[in-house]
Structure 1
Amino acid sequence: MCGVREGLGEGVGRWFEDNSRRIVGDGRDALFWHDIWVGEIPLKFKFSRLYELAEDKECSVAEARRVIGPDRGWERVWRRRLLAWEEESVRECYVLLYNIVLQENVHDAWRWLLDPIQGYSVRGAYRFLTTTGEPLDRTLDDDVWQKHIPSKVSLFVWRLLRNRLPTKDNLVRRHVLHHSDTACISGCGELETGKHLFLYCDIFGSLWSHIWLSLFSYLALVTYLFSYAS
């Protein structure tokens, strides 16, 4: 689950962090350095040197605001006395935060950028993860999920269409196999991808063509019988 959250194998990067923002109210729950609450990236990345020197790296926005300002003793925040160029970063940070006003009666909240009105949902996250990347014929995708087709068959075909099967090219990309181990298991010498293994391989491609023909004939017969019975 943590791997999915970090975008492992999905090709969408840090999708959760990129689509969520901290909306600051009283500042007691939002983390000053770690959360994206001002700007587009966390302050620990925007002011990485200051973050390294910070005494309390887990402080909240409210706690940090108590000592932020030209006359509020910034020196208490750092592990040592700052150099001239580091003090310039402090002034830049202060300018960025100058107009931030905390609201004592409003709690901090999260905002899901993909659906700011309804908020985060598993359905919305699933739709985002499964539609990001190469475009896919939605009609073909929907036809996979039929109630008369065994779920394991639908899942297998869905993974094949989405290039989610553990073929060697995918295993190398996920650092399961070494980058030199990409040759098709049949020994044909070609790169083992889903398309090659199921369509173009001289050995397995011809085998799967017979399997697909038998499978689709079976599914067509089952669909016809169910529609006739109903």
Structure 2
Amino acid sequence: MLKQKFTRLSHLDVDQQATVQSIIEWTENSWRVTWVWNRELIGRAKDELEELSVLLNAYTKLGINRDISYWYLASNGVFSTKKLSWLIDEKTLQDNRWRQPTLRNNLVPSKVEIFIWRVLKRRLPVRTELDKRGINMDSVRCPICDDDVETIKHTMIFCAHSMDVWSRVFKC
């Protein structure tokens, strides 16, 4: 399962037949991962490693010969989306005057909410953002219109093709 979730990491591992048990061990109250890479981790592979570290650090091994899941961000050790939403609000909404809880809008599909969030957080894989993360491309120009550099603004608003889509949306 980890191999499917973290494909870049598994491809960059020198030992392609490595098992989780052979590279991850519990020592001195923390997880220790021993990996040998084919090359330095950059871009998405580095992001995958950080994601895996977060997942591993969210679980603690308790007792002798007894593994149980424990979410260290909750006082009772049980994961809940409500607690996660509260923690996200706590970290991102610093100014209490403007504090509003993160709520799901049931009228908007979650794919749309996620897409909007990614646009607002500059997490769309447009060419300029990929270039900032060290991913090599032949050009950072828009592959659809080739009129300008492909930025989030260009892709969402200024590209001739996106303008056509927006005009069709607003005609309805």
TM-score normalized with structure 2 length: 0.43
Q: Which has the higher contact order (CA 8 A, sep 6+)?
A: 1
Q: Which structure has the larger Rg?
A: 1
TM-score normalized with structure 1 length: 0.35
